[in-house]
């Protein structure tokens, strides 16, 4: 295992020791131990900045399942490094914040930090894996770990609901991604993202290529909360604020953006990619900002603002597909959209992380997040108020904060691409600037609402559950650092241009470099008098007017029937699904073993007979059959007679005797066919079985003499005959046609030489099939434990605590 692999798995490995540290050092907050993990990782990944700046990549491979082409290939380029730094950097600040936010005496910190470290490893695995199967494994790990984090306060109904909702939606996307990976790997012949890109020209015209594209986008849209899959993110706000700050500013919701950015070199030259990514992203920007305005919960506003900002970045990644068109390559005119996407990705992590922490501080120090009860906190919480002002103004796109710079680049990219004529944009290209401006106006409105209704509105301290006061300095350190970065990046944006932004953009647009183009990243605070500046003036002016008149038009939100909302449809779908599953359960789970056997054997018969018929697999050849002697016929008649007689027996003792006759008859067959080991085993089993039946004879139920309805007997007879027919046909067919040589000769030739044994059967069981035997022993051990547990449960009348 290389050092890079160890870095990815370090949080997971560290999580093993968290319960021990929590138990042994109760006087020390567990978060102080956890803090060392992301801090060491951000320092470790920082050393790769110089390499990615030079256009170099780092690859470390570790074999996992080489026979299937699945190896853990860790790959660092500009894009992967950007996300790794965000994951570990923001992770460090979140852990520090959680030390002061979570009470060590009231919270199960060992659970919290185990989930958090598991999630950190999952995110690092996604952004640093070149093998798509390995990436998928980490992708689903994020769904599981985020489910645990969101449902951390599992005693709350809303926490369980939010965790379930996020799990169902994101796992659906994950399964879609697995389908896309399967198709893409079949087309390219590899699970490697880089190898799939290198062979792109050989399969990009295949019809299944578009299917893979859609499946990958379903995964990205569900994870990054794009419309209509965005509904899980507001309910995920039931998680503790450190979780919200981490998952929704720098990690989980950014995983979908990473997937789109990483797969852009493969899919972005397809018009469908441009339409879906940019269109869905732009509408999500508008819809998220529109719905954020009506929220009355502080974290709910931030949740919808996150949806809106994710839509903005997603649309930029889609618009950046224009840079991969042949006509645009010489002057790289449209790379500004991708540069803006990378830049706003960083900016969003800074201002949104600080705002979530601000919301947590308000909740922690006042006891509520309800904006109807908050107000007038600016004098009592001046530092928190300053953090809120910086974060919201940056999110609103007001200079000189970093959000203004990336928002201006967003407007520039929208304008240039919409006027390019690419992808037939001359017909509806005007919609992109329209949605961008309208979405930005509502962004400005909800940004002002956050600050005004929390800090500048009328004082309502009598309605607060707690007396408000400023947070302790420890809780303020992390948001102060993030707010300082908002200002620092806003004033000196080019400090990131060559170190982070350009390498990441080059990883998203490798075709631009391959065609001889250049990606110039030079960010300026002042761009002169242009259309973007006009749009900004319109956004601020109209947004301020809407903010001042908000009480007059906020009732418009109540005009929309609740039955039209996506949340209502989601809940209805769950209710209908529960009713259908309950009906199926009640119909199928009858409580009778006979019914279950009918299902099992009926399915086996259907599968076997249909396979033999549709694939023309049945064959019958008498040549390999040996002659049948008279005593074999007699033995078959005895076996069949005893088996049939059991079904008509009206005595428990008679049934036991007939069952023993059938078993001993099979043992005699093994003797006749010169299989003494099997015969001995069968004799032992039958002897033990008969003895056990006799031991429990007194407790066995009486056989009912009441005649059953004839249709049940006919049904059972039909199933039994069909099962026997299926097994017979399969046996005859496999004996009559052999696709491969028998393995028996291999055992005969190697049993002594390789295993140094004389008994072939024993050697096969112990050596050649040792794992089978081991697993069989394990099954017996588990069954024994289960029997012991049931006996103990019955003996004590309950679980022994």
Q: pLDDT digit string (tens) for 597-623?
A: 888 998 999 999 998 888 888 877 777
Q: Please determine, for residue 731, whether its predicted confidence score (pLDDT) is greater than 90.
A: no
* Residues 359-411: tens digit of each pLDDT: 999 999 998 999 989 988 998 999 999 999 999 999 999 988 999 999 999 99
* Residues 111-135: tens digit of each pLDDT: 999 999 999 999 999 999 999 999 9
Amino acid 703: pLDDT:
62
Q: Please determine, for residue 788, whether its predicted confidence score (pLDDT) is greater than 70.
A: yes
For 633, the 3-state DSSP assignment is helix
Amino acid 326: pLDDT:
47
Amino acid 798: pLDDT:
55
Q: Please determine, for residue 154, whether its predicted confidence score (pLDDT) is greater than 80.
A: yes
Q: Please determine, for residue 327, whether its predicted confidence score (pLDDT) is greater than 80.
A: no
Higher confidence at residue 138 or residue 65?
Answer: 138
Amino acid 704: pLDDT:
58
Confidence of residue 466 (pLDDT cuts 50, 70, 90): confident
Q: Please determine, for residue 711, whether its predicted confidence score (pLDDT) is greater than 80.
A: no
* Residues 415-427: tens digit of each pLDDT: 888 777 777 777 7
Bridge partners, residue 63, by sequence: 71
Amino acid 406: pLDDT:
93
Which of 348-357, 409-418, 501-510 shows the lowest per-residue confidence on average (mean pLDDT)?
A: 409-418
Which of 117-131, 437-451, 693-707 shows the lowest per-residue confidence on average (mean pLDDT)?
A: 693-707
Confidence of residue 746 (pLDDT cuts 50, 70, 90): confident
Residue in the block written with tokens 């699970």: 191
Confidence of residue 328 (pLDDT cuts 50, 70, 90): very low
Please give the sequence-ordered ranges of beta strands (E in DSSP) within 291-436, or none if there are none: none
Higher confidence at residue 329 or residue 476?
Answer: 476
The reported pTM is: 0.83
167 alpha-carbon distance from chain centroid: 7
* Residues 554-587: tens digit of each pLDDT: 888 888 777 778 888 999 999 999 999 999 988 8
Q: Please determine, for residue 478, whether its predicted confidence score (pLDDT) is greater than 70.
A: yes
Q: Please determine, for residue 358, whether its predicted confidence score (pLDDT) is greater than 90.
A: yes
Nearest to 4 by CA among 77, 55, 86, 92: 77
State percent of the chain over pLDDT 90.
Answer: 56
Q: Which pair of tokens denotes residue 541?
A: 């002016």
**Mean pLDDT confidence for 766-788:** 87
Amino acid 332: pLDDT:
47
Q: Please determine, for residue 305, whether its predicted confidence score (pLDDT) is greater than 90.
A: yes
**Mean pLDDT confidence for 270-284:** 93
For 759, the 3-state DSSP assignment is coil
Mean pLDDT across the chain, nearest whole number? 88
Bridge partners, residue 497, by sequence: none
Phi first, then psi: give them for residue 514, nearest 5 degrees.
-65, -30
* Rounded-to-integer distance, Cα 163 and Cα 432, Å: 34
User: What's 375's DSSP letter?
Assistant: -
Amino acid 712: pLDDT:
55
**Mean pLDDT confidence for 88-96:** 96
Which of 42-46, 420-424, 462-466 shows the lowest per-residue confidence on average (mean pLDDT)?
A: 420-424
**Mean pLDDT confidence for 748-775:** 80
Is residue 241 classed exposed, middle or buried when 0-12, 13-18 and 19+ CB atoms within 10 A define those classes?
A: buried
State the Cα angle at 5 between 4 and 9, rounded to 5°. 120
Q: Please determine, for residue 338, whether its predicted confidence score (pLDDT) is greater than 80.
A: yes
Amino acid 417: pLDDT:
80
Nearest to 388 by CA among 279, 480, 524: 480
43 alpha-carbon distance from chain centroid: 28
Amino acid 624: pLDDT:
66
Which of 38-47, 73-82, 553-562, 661-670 shows the lowest per-residue confidence on average (mean pLDDT)?
A: 553-562
**Mean pLDDT confidence for 503-511:** 90
SS (H, E, C) 551-586: HHHHHHHHHCCHHHCHHHHHHHHHHHHHHHHHHHHH
Amino acid 710: pLDDT:
46
* Rounded-to-integer distance, Cα 373 and Cα 448, Å: 17
Which of 70-84, 191-205, 541-555, 609-623 shows the lowest per-residue confidence on average (mean pLDDT)?
A: 609-623
Amino acid 800: pLDDT:
45
Amino acid 325: pLDDT:
67
Amino acid 706: pLDDT:
52
Amino acid 796: pLDDT:
65
* Rounded-to-integer distance, Cα 183 and Cα 206, Å: 11
User: What's 605's DSSP letter?
Assistant: H
* Contact (CB, 8 A) for 550 and 449: yes
* Rounded-to-integer distance, Cα 266 and Cα 184, Å: 10
Give the chain's length: 801
* Contact (CB, 8 A) for 34 and 117: yes
* Residues 259-270: tens digit of each pLDDT: 999 999 999 889
Amino acid 461: pLDDT:
83
């Amino acid at each position: 295992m290389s050092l890079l692999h160890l870095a990815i798995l370090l949080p997971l490995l560290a999580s093993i020791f968290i319960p021990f540290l929590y138990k042994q050092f109760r006087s020390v907050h567990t978060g102080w131990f956890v803090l060392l993990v992301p801090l060491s990782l951000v320092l470790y990944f920082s050393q790769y900045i110089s390499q990615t700046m030079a256009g170099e990549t780092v690859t470390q491979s570790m074999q996992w399942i080489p026979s299937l082409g699945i190896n853990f290939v860790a790959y660092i380029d500009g894009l992967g490094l950007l996300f790794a730094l965000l994951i570990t950097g923001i992770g460090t600040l979140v852990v520090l914040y959680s030390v002061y936010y979570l009470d060590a005496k009231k919270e199960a910190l060992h659970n919290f930090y185990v989930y958090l470290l598991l999630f950190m490893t999952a995110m690092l695995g996604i952004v640093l894996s070149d093998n798509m199967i390995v990436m998928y494994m980490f992708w689903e790990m994020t769904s599981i770990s985020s489910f645990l984090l969101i449902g951390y306060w599992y005693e709350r109904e809303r926490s369980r609901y939010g965790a379930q909702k996020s799990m169902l939606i994101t796992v659906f996307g994950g399964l879609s991604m697995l389908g896309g990976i399967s198709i893409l790997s079949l087309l390219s012949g590899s699970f490697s993202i880089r190898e799939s890109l290198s062979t792109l020209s050989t399969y990009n015209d295949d019809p299944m290529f578009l299917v893979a594209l859609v499946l990958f986008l379903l995964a990205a849209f569900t994870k990054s909360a794009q419309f209509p899959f965005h509904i899980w993110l507001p309910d995920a706000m039931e998680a503790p604020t450190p979780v919200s700050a981490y998952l929704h500013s720098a990690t989980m919701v950014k995983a979908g953006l990473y997937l789109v950015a990483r797969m852009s070199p493969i899919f972005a030259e397809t018009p469908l990619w441009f339409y879906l990514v940019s269109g869905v992203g732009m509408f999500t920007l508008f819809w998220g900002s529109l719905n954020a305005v009506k929220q009355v919960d502080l974290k709910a506003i931030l949740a919808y603002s996150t949806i809106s900002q994710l839509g903005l970045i997603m649309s930029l990644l889609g618009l950046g597909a224009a840079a991969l068109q042949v006509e645009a390559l010489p002057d790289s005119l449209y790379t500004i959209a991708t540069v803006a996407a990378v830049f706003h990705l960083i900016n969003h992590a800074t201002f949104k992380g600080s705002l979530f922490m601000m919301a947590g501080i308000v909740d922690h120090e006042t006891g509520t997040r309800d904006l109807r009860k908050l107000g007038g906190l600016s004098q009592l919480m001046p530092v928190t108020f300053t953090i809120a002002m910086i974060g919201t103004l940056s999110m609103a796109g007001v200079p000189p904060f970093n959000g203004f710079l990336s928002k201006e680049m967003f407007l520039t990219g929208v304008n240039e691409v919409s006027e390019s004529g690419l992808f037939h944009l001359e017909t509806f290209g005007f919609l992109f600037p329209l949605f961008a401006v309208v979405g930005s106006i509502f962004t400005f409105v909800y940004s002002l609402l956050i600050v005004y209704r929390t800090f500048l509105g009328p004082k309502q301290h009598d309605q607060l559950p707690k007396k408000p006061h400023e947070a302790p300095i420890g809780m303020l350190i992390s948001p102060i650092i993030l707010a300082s970065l908002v200002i620092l990046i806003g004033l000196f944006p080019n400090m990131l241009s060559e170190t982070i932004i350009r390498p990441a953009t080059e990883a998203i647009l490798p075709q631009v470099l391959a065609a001889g183009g250049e990606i110039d990243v030079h960010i300026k605070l002042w761009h002169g008098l242009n259309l973007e500046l006009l749009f900004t003036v319109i956004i601020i002016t109209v947004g301020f007017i809407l903010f001042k008149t908000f009480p007059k038009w906020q009732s418009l939100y109540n005009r929309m029937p609740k039955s039209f909302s996506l949340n209502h449809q989601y809940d209805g779908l769950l209710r209908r699904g529960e009713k259908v599953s309950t009906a199926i359960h009640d119909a199928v789970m009858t409580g009778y073993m006979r019914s279950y056997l009918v299902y099992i054997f009926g399915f086996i018969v259907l599968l076997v007979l249909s396979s033999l018929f549709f694939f023309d697999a049945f064959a019958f050849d008498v040549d390999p059959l040996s002659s049948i002697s008279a005593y074999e016929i007699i033995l078959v008649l005895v076996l069949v007679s005893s088996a049939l007689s059991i079904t008509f027996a009206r005595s428990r003792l008679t049934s036991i005797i007939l069952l023993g006759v059938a078993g001993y008859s099979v043992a005699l067959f093994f003797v006749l066919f010169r299989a003494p080991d099997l015969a001995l085993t069968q004799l032992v089993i039958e002897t033990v079985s008969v003895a056990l039946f006799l031991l429990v004879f007194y407790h066995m139920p009486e056989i009912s003499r009441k005649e059953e309805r004839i249709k049940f007997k006919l049904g059972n007879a039909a199933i039994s005959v069909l099962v026997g027919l299926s097994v017979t046909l399969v046996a005859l067919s496999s004996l009559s046609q052999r696709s491969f040589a028998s393995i028996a000769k291999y055992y005969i030739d190697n049993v002594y030489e390789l295993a140094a044994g004389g008994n072939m059967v024993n050697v096969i069981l112990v050596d050649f099939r040792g794992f089978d035997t081991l697993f069989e022993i394990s099954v017996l051990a588990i069954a024994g434990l289960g029997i012991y547990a049931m006996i103990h449960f019955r003996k004590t009348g309950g679980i022994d605590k």
